[in-house]
A and B are shown apart, each in its own frame.
Chain A
Amino acid sequence: MSATAAVSATTPLASRLLAELTAIVGAGNVLHQRDELLVYECDGYVVNKKVPDVVVFPTCTEHVVELVKLCNRHDVPYVPRGAGTSLSGGTLAVGGGVMICLTRMKRILEINTRDRYAIVEPGVVNVWLTRALAGTGFHYAPDPSSQTACTIGGNTATNSGGPHTLKYGVTVNHVKGVELVLPDASVVTIGGITDDPPGYDLTGLVVGSEGTFGVVTKVIVDLTRDPEAGRTLLAVFDTVEAATETVSGIIAAGIVPAALEMLDNLMIQAVEQAFGFGFPTAAGAILIIEVDGIDAGLDREAQLISEIVQSRGGRVQKSITWRTRKEPEYVAIWKSRKSAFGAVGRLSPTFCTQDGVVPRTLLPHIMRFIEGVARRYDIRIANVFHAGDGNIHPILLFDERDGEQVQRVLHASREILEECIRVGGSVTGEHGIGVEKMALMPRLFAPEDLAAMIAIRNALNPEGRCSPSKLLPSGGHCIERKSPGRRASA
């Protein structure tokens, strides 16, 4: 037998399950040869890898039910996967087993603009829904930077946010209900098309559960009316400090921008190299400030913002007036912002992104802290973040071939995250815990708090077969992190 054939052979587990899996979803919806499974060994987080034994593509809820029953019968772990853009290893098949890939459940089942909801299958890509809604006067509000690729199922599981989260809220604020296949293989519908059904708010529980409460097979989302118009301002500052103080100033003035994003000098340089939007490369920092709503009030709001910017020593370099989010200049500025992280590759061959949250008023403090860390460890750190909700993304640039530098980056990351915790923040704004940050959970929560969470998980997922070793530390497969990977971010 040639070596090639050996690699493409099926694992013992896969061959044991193959006939039954095929009977459920059909041969065309099963991958079991090793050379086709390899690409499923990781998602957007590439530090840890594990090849699943088999990947299946259900095309309906009944398939999922039968697959879960099968896994239960054979005592095999399974993990749901959407587009695999998770930045925390949420889809890692920690113990091997079955990966349930929802990319073939991708129908938009209903759009109802009168009652303002849509029902979609979990594999629908976020932006497909937005496109399908074009011209209706409505949109789906959560807009993670990965929206052109990530699925609404994945968004639901990770409670995704995005630049417009500041005004419009995160995914949980826009999911009215879900259909869920529980780990015991029963199908439940939680929530519904009406607002605020009686009983426990279980939708809130499922959204953000990172696949540990079962497989989401339908999502009912609410639709948000398009704003009549908007203004998107580009404000330029000499220092990061002036920019972050402006953020506090704007919020203090009672203005709720639709989005409020900051890029520091390194980030501006990278983005400019990549997209050439016209950001000032000498600036210490820029803010992208967006207000939207009824046209009549917007100029006054923009004027107010402009005054705050000036009072902190900055200036408004550009003001885009728009009626729809499709106008070319609007699209260009947001494309630059949303693709910012990828542009970092142009500054450094390897980088590692952190995701932390601090109370908004402490942004100037954490930025000073990060500057200090960069100096002390002698590494370059680029910053791009959702300033409005205090969600920071320091990106540490390094050379992976230099082992000593890699160690410095790890220490520096830890210091930054610990400072976030110390000042009352958190270690994940939007990338989730996954496998990446599980070890930090005990630092974030008191033992009693963690115990409460574990009790809930044990009630819903008692055997722990559904997404094992994710989100909550529970002994067993412990993943030790030896090197920061080169990876993406919001």
Chain B
Amino acid sequence: MVTATAMDGQQVQDAGIDLDWLTRKIEYRNFQECIHCGLCTASCPTYVETGNENDSPRGRIYLMRAVTDGRLGMGPHVRRHLELCLDCRACESACPSGVRYGTLIEPFKIALQKDAPAGAKASLLQRMILHHLFPYAGRVKTALAPARLFQKLGLLDLAEKSGMTRLLPPTLRRMMAMLPRLSGARPRLPEVLPPIGPKRARVALFLGCVADAMYPETNAATARVLQQNGCEVMVPRSQVCCGAIHYHSGVEQPAIALARRNMTAFDPDRLDAIIVNAAGCGAMLKEYPHMLPAAEHDQAARFVAKVKDISEFLVALGPVAPEHPVPLKVAYHDACHLCHAQQIRSQPRQLLAMIPGLELVPLEESELCCGAAGTYNLTQPEMSERLGRRKMDHIEATGASVVAAGNVGCILQIARKIKERRSTIEVVHPVDLLDRAYQGKQA
């Protein structure tokens, strides 16, 4: 019998990855928490698609442990199965044993990125985006300016129709396809917005870089909804990108630097809450204590205590009932970073259910990742595409005219699918609908 020793009784000579660093980053106990029951498997989007245990959470934990134990080297297969992980954390929601999968895969992703063979390293474009573009919302906006002009002039459609976009490198092409209809550049939100009615809370709004560049209306809507609910809304100018895209792409240092800047930009002692409307950013901000060195944990914990998703905050505050009907049939998609990373499921639905005339219909597999997952659609286009298709099929099957999702990544991904299928479905953030119900304006 082969028992739990090295495969064929041999330890591999070449780990193929920086094991010293990994063993310092990962507590071995975290592996042992996995009792190999397999209850997580069918909740994992990649396993549901491929049916291959290597693409399941249990399988990935097994692979990572085998590499750590010296039973396997980090060869191209193992690498591929780990890189295919969306980091959506559906497995953490499913696991009864409380395995903290993120504490395993994240160090591995960082180590993989460091040791990537030349061709597999983050491309120049990716690196440029990660290091130079995302920290600065303004720069994202500027970078999008040519695209916006293109769209205005109808050139993008022309380029698409004429097949010109096919000449672009694939990554750029996918980015183009992801672009929503961009509205003209908007004036920035003022630094302080007064509450409407008696003041109930003092909050700060976290804008997010991609979100603010692509969907500035949603940030404006979020601010208005907060004002309607009696909040004084601060919009600190010195805030920067949350660092999620860096961190999840395995680029750790810039992520830490960004965290420190945000912790200075928002003073938790002077705020009742730090409001986030993009689930990916919210999940990242809440993770700061794990990312930072122990000496900064206290400060990070005070910051995190105030970070709230907009829906989480409003439901806890007791939302003011909106009066204008929004007579739409709406399906709600659970963004991974809301439902799995932050365990927020009922609050967005509660808010939507408050809107007069709105019919909320159930969406099949609403908690299965749509395939956006940060930069995943750029790095793993094929799987991203399969999951996007699966999501869109379910959305279309609901017969809803609107699909709501609490994360900019999901909104972009679904918008792209809608565009591809020439569907008339509209994708929005739940706050957009809430805003309409407060303001009484139709889309």
Contact = CB atoms under 8 A, between A and B. Distances in A.
Interface string B28-72: 010011011111111100000001111000110011001000011
Interface in B80-111: 81, 94-98
B52 A50 contact: no
B96 A148 contact: no
Interface extent on A, as a size class?
Answer: 35 or more
A40 B52 CA distance: 10
Contacts of A123: 51
B153 interface: no
B39 A49 contact: no
B14 A4 contact: yes
B316 interface: no
Nearest to B51: A103
A121 to B, nearest CB: 11
A274 B96 contact: yes
A472 interface: no
A50 B29 CA distance: 24
A398 interface: no
Interface string B206-239: 0000000000000000000000000000000000
Nearest to A96: B2
Contact of B38 (A35, A36, A146): A146
Nearest to A350: B32
B35 A486 contact: yes
A489 to B, nearest CB: 9
A342 B94 CA distance: 11
Contacts of A150: 38
Interface in B244-275: none
Interface in B1-47: 1-4, 7-8, 10, 12-14, 16, 29, 32-33, 35-43
Given A5-B75, A39-B62, A342-B95, A125 B42 contact: yes
Interface string A103-137: 11010000000000000000101011001000000
Contact of B12 (A7, A48, A343): A7
A307 interface: no
A149 B41 contact: yes
Nearest to A486: B35
Contacts of A104: 51
Nearest to A341: B96
Contact of A149 (B38, B97, B364): B38
Contacts of B58: 39
A274 B59 contact: no
A7 B32 contact: no
A84 B53 contact: yes
Contacts of A106: 51
B36 A44 contact: yes
Contacts of A487: 35-37
B115 to A, nearest CB: 12
B13 A49 contact: no
B77 A33 contact: yes
B74 interface: yes
A150 B58 CA distance: 14
Contacts, number: 143
A324 interface: no
Residue from B3, B33, B37 having most chain A Cβ neighbours under 10 A: B37
Contacts of A42: 36
Contact of A39 (B2, B14, B53): B53
B289 interface: no
B73 interface: yes
A31 B81 CA distance: 13
A146 B4 contact: no
Given A7-B72, A35-B75, A148-B43, A85 B1 contact: no
B1 A50 contact: yes
Nearest to B29: A349
Given A38-B71, A148-B94, A488 B33 contact: no
A34 interface: yes
A128 to B, nearest CB: 8
A36 B77 contact: yes
Contacts of A182: none
A4 B62 contact: no
B71 A85 contact: no
B78 interface: yes
Contacts of A340: 96
A101 interface: yes
A43 B97 contact: no
A33 B7 CA distance: 13
A43 B62 CA distance: 11
Nearest to B67: A35
Contacts of B346: 328
B37 A488 contact: yes
Contact of A85 (B7, B37, B364): B37
Residue from A40, A41, A43, A83 having most chain B Cβ neighbours under 10 A: A83
Interface string A39-68: 111111010111100000100000000000
B362 to A, nearest CB: 8
Contacts of B54: 31, 36, 39
Nearest to B16: A4
Nearest to A85: B38
B41 A83 contact: yes
Contact of A488 (B29, B36, B63, B94): B36
Interface string A143-157: 000101110000000
Contacts of B38: 43-44, 83-85, 146, 149-150
Interface string A1-40: 0111111100000000000000000000001011110111
A159 B41 CA distance: 21
B7 A38 contact: yes
A239 interface: no
11 contacts: A2-B13, A3-B12, A4-B14, A33-B77, A43-B38, A50-B1, A51-B7, A149-B38, A150-B38, A340-B96, A342-B37
Closest 7 CB pairs of A and B: A342-B96, A4-B73, A103-B51, A339-B96, A488-B37, A3-B13, A342-B97
Interface of B: 1-4, 7-8, 10, 12-14, 16, 29, 32-33, 35-43, 51-54, 58-59, 62-63, 66, 71-75, 77-78, 81, 94-98, 346, 364
